[in-house]
């Protein structure tokens, strides 16, 4: 019995798996950078305060 041709679905499935994982990793990275900047700014503000 010939298996059905489902390669496209396989690609779609893995596109989702890799895609969403990648998006999440990127979001972690972006959030990290933003927080680092915030720490920078806040520490500068703190130093300015008497």
By CB under 8 A, name the binding residues for another protein: 1, 3-7, 9-10, 12-14, 16-17, 20-21, 24, 28, 31-32, 35-36, 38-39, 42-43, 45-46, 49
Min dist. Cβ of residue 18 to another protein (A): 9
Largest CA distance in the chain: 81
Cα-Cα end-to-end distance for the chain = 81
Min dist. Cβ of residue 36 to another protein (A): 7
Total residues found in the chain within this entry: 50
Min dist. Cβ of residue 2 to another protein (A): 9
């Amino acid at each position: 019995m010939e298996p059905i041709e489902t390669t496209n679905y396989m690609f779609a499935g893995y596109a989702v798996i890799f895609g969403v994982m990648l998006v999440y990793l990127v979001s972690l990275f972006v959030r990290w950078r933003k927080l680092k900047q915030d720490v920078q700014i806040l520490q500068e503000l703190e130093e300015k305060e008497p």
